[in-house]
Structure 1
Amino acid sequence: MSMQATIYYRGKLSSCNYSCPYCPFSKTVDSKETLMQDRQQLAQFMEWVRQQEYAGHQLSIFFNPYGEALVHAWYREAMIELSHMSHITKVAIQTNLSVKLDWTAQLNPAKASFWATYHPGQVREDRFIAQGMTLYKQGIVFSAGTVGLREAFPAIHQLRAKLPEDVYVWVNAFKDRPRYYSEAEIEELSGIDPYFRDNLQDYDSLGQACRAGEHVFYVQGSGIVKRCYQDKRVIGHLYRHSLEQLSQERPCQMKTCGCYIGYIHMKDQPFASLYGERLLERVPQSYRNLAKPVHI
């Protein structure tokens, strides 16, 4: 039985080229051995993906690494290859967009996309904007955003002002402190990101139906498969079980769900229709950026 499935992939990588004070991965440096293992794991995953064409499966692949993956050639090469595979619907990645983008010209812009996170204080604003505009001119879909810390408000306004209107700028709610925002601040951020309130809340999820574990799978580099990145349950192994064997209806066992890559897959929430085919890279239907490549 052929399936349409979404695979979130996270390998051994756990380091970043930025040093954000709130992020644990800015404080680690991967050894050569770890990087070699990460590369080997991705190679194994890519071979598995190639084989799925013969099983008739259609796949969307989302790389959400601990740290920054695109500084390593094997992730760039994987994205290029995946974007040209007939049975791949989409390949997307979370990235700080810091690497040179000369390689993105080799991507199939109909399938490749980016979830780009802006880190004020780690990169110059003009550099990040220029990187986004490189993708824009190549006709590659992306969203851009940052964490809604109060000290970042001016940078968030600037980001919205300097990117084209048809590029969605999202704001992740800072939830480490309860009731962090005043109503006026919520209104201010909603003026930048009209869907900010969606991210601000946590969703009651215990026992709720979710596509996670049925059509959406969270895969670790070793091949271990979980229904959700927050749910610790192991539901199988990618290289020992077929997608058909892995796929089951699995109601959520978490009390709440508060992260975008989790709650968007809850069946009783409107996000699948709100974002449509751009759900993974976080571009709402009301933003249809990059209709045509601009040749430069």
Structure 2
Amino acid sequence: MKVTIYFRGSISSCNYDCPYCPFSKNTDSQETLAKDRLQVQTFVDWVRKQADRGHQLSVFFNPYGEGLTHRWYREALVELSHMQHVDKVAIQTNLSAKLDWACDLNPATAAFWVTYHPGQTEEERFLQQCRKLYVQKIPFSVGCVGVKSAFHSISSIRKALPKDVYMWVNAYKDRPDYYSAEDEAFLTQIDPYFVLNALDYDSMGKPCRAGQTVFYVQGDGRVKRCYKDRQVIGNLYKDGLERLSQERPCRMKQCDCYIGYIHMEGQPFDPIYGDRVLERIAIL
């Protein structure tokens, strides 16, 4: 089977305190950190064994918080990137952690989904981190939440990044009618696919790869078809991919987040992102 797995362990801590994020400046206990470390190691062990079952895997780490400040996430990325049956391993990160370890990654399979948070880090320091990835030819995208207070920073970062680095903008959806026509035009200059992200997609009963070839796995192995659908469909370690995989039409009224709607059938995203959909790198 060719499968995409989103993995989220027990950590819910971050070294940033963004006002729009519920995990800002959270600090996990040593017990939680130890639990998360074991969960990541157990998952990596499971992935290693899937070579014998003939599975090809793509893995995306999207922790509640920042993972790369923890050694076990860095080690997991390096190890997974060198497994022959792993097509892709990526992580969502603010890129604040040191990158001296990144030279051990396999750039053919490793990738970064990088989020820039104005006010949480100096622009030049963030750009220096991006340059380190760029020089090592490790694929990455850069993005930002499209709050109006960040517009100047979004424009500045876009100008400073290499032209072949794709920059995306997440639409701010907490307030209806938040953007004017001028705002949308500005953000579309930054991200030509911003308007697609600003939409909420009617999804109830519609076909989706989630639950069939895409799975959202929690640290203890519980599997959900989608990160927003709370129904547990099985356990990764007890059931295995073959038993978990079924056609599962969406049970949610709408899908409003990139990591959800990109897996809906009949949407325009496959031609836009191709085999870089996981790390959100558009074909420019």
Query: Which TM-score applies when normalising by structure 1?
Result: 0.95
**Cα-Cα RMSD:** 0.6
- CA apart distance, 1:142: 0.3
SS at match of 1:161: helix
Aligned match of 1:210 = 208
Match for 1:149 among 147, 151, 157?
A: 147
The reply to whether residue 9 of structure 1 matches residue 7 of structure 2 is: yes
Aligned match of 2:233 = 235
**Deviation digits for residues 6-58 of structure 1 (CA, Å, limit 9, x no counterpart):** 00000001000111122111142100000000001111111110110000000
1:230-269 superposed matches below 5 A: 230-269=228-267
Structure 2 CA distance, aligned partners of 1:214 and 1:204?
Answer: 19
Aligned match of 1:19 = 17
Aligned match of 2:119 = 121
Q: What is the letter of the counterpart of residue 237 of structure 1?
A: N
Aligned match of 1:168 = 166
1:1-296 superposed matches below 5 A: 3-286=1-284
SS at match of 1:90: strand
Q: What is the letter of the counterpart of residue 190 of structure 2?
A: I
SS at match of 1:188: helix
Runs of 4 or more, structure 1, over 3 Å off, are none
**Deviation digits for residues 163-211 of structure 1 (CA, Å, limit 9, x no counterpart):** 0110001110000000100011100100110000010010000011000
Structure 2 CA distance, aligned partners of 1:281 and 1:99?
Answer: 18
Aligned pairs, how many? 284
| Gaps in structure 2 of 5+ consecutive residues | none
Structure 1 CA distance, aligned partners of 2:74 and 2:173?
Answer: 32
Structure 2 CA distance, aligned partners of 1:264 and 1:21?
Answer: 27
SS at match of 1:43: helix
SS at match of 1:97: coil
| Gaps in structure 1 of 5+ consecutive residues | 287-296
Q: Are the counterparts in 1 of residues 15 and 25 from structure 2 also a CA contact under 8 Å? A: no
- CA apart distance, 1:222: 0.6
SS at match of 2:46: helix
SS at match of 1:197: helix
SS at match of 1:67: coil
SS at match of 1:241: helix
**Deviation digits for residues 54-108 of structure 1 (CA, Å, limit 9, x no counterpart):** 0000000000000000000000000000000000000000000001100000000
- CA apart distance, 1:268: 1.1
Aligned match of 1:291 = none
SS at match of 2:151: helix
Q: What is the letter of the counterpart of residue 260 of structure 1?
A: Y
SS at match of 1:276: helix
Structure 1 CA distance, aligned partners of 2:93 and 2:4?
Answer: 19
Q: Are the counterparts in 1 of residues 16 and 25 from structure 2 also a CA contact under 8 Å? A: no
**Deviation digits for residues 219-268 of structure 1 (CA, Å, limit 9, x no counterpart):** 00010000000011111000100101000000001000010000000011
- CA apart distance, 1:273: 2.2
- CA apart distance, 1:141: 0.3
Query: Which TM-score applies when normalising by structure 2?
Result: 0.99
Structure 1 CA distance, aligned partners of 2:203 and 2:239?
Answer: 27
Structure 1 CA distance, aligned partners of 2:238 and 2:160?
Answer: 48
